[in-house]
Amino acid sequence: MLRWQPRNHGPSGSKSARLYGKISAIAIGALSLSGHPGTPALVYNPSPSAPLGYYRTLPARPLMRGDWVLVRAPKAARQLADQRGYLSASVPMIKTVVALAGDRICASGSLIYVNGAMIAARLHVDHHGRPLPWWTGCRTLGANDVFVINRFSPSSFDGRYFGVVSREAVLARLVHL
């Protein structure tokens, strides 16, 4: 079983990182126009970790590899992201689905593999030199598992560091406008 363990947290994140989190929270809150409770009809992404701009939300199912999604990270990862100023704990992340049920994911050293193919590398430290958490081992995903990363940004805080999320954590699929 994969267990996410944070390393030494260090001091809070930069002012610009905290500003991105605040802007994201305001944008998501202001655009909550959908008839589905808790899921906005539009999401604005001000962070360079995914394509900038507005996204339209779609139902979270069906999910396919390559889908952009609005996802709530595991609690420990949300708390660490908030403490470091990456993103407010109340704001979901925008990530890409890279593995679903039946796929085998592995983390070995700094590399992440899906079905034997290397798909991403991990950093040892964030942009402030603070250690990043790593998970290790291999796992075949079950029916309720989703693995999300952001290939758009090699420094994205994503499944490389916190592992698998549940399907319930995926709030919506996204279409970049």
Per-residue pLDDT at 26: 42
Residue 9 is assigned to a structural domain of this protein: no
- Structural domain count of the chain: 1
6 assigned to some structural domain? no
- Considering the entire predicted model, what is its pTM? 0.79
In this structure, what DSSP letter does residue 167 have?
G
d(CA 174, CA 146): 15
CATH number at residue 68: 2.10.109.10
Q: Tell me which residue of 145, 136, 21 sits closest to 84, measured CA to CA.
A: 21
Cis peptide before 62 (omega within 30 of 0): yes
**Confidence (pLDDT) at 119:** 97
Q: Is 116 exposed, middle or buried (0-12, 13-18, 19+ CB in 10 A)?
A: exposed
Question: 7 is written with which tokens?
Answer: 């390393």
Helix ranges, 50-174 (H)? 75-83, 159-162
Q: Return the closest-CA partner of residue 18 out of 84, 66, 74.
A: 84
What is the residue range of 59's domain?
15-176
Phi, psi of 32 (to 5 degrees): -75, 80
Residue 2: the pLDDT is 44
The reply to whether 54 falls in a domain is: yes
In a domain, 108, yes or no: yes
The answer to the question of residue 4 being in a domain is no
117 located within any domain = yes
Residue 38 lies in a domain: yes
Q: Is 3 among the domain residues?
A: no
pLDDT in tens, the chain (177 residues): 344 555 444 444 455 555 555 445 444 444 443 434 567 789 999 888 889 999 999 999 999 999 999 999 999 999 999 999 999 999 999 999 999 999 999 999 999 999 999 999 999 999 999 999 999 999 999 999 999 999 888 899 999 999 999 999 999 999 999
Contact 76, 162 (CB under 8 A): yes
* pLDDT recorded at residue 63: 96
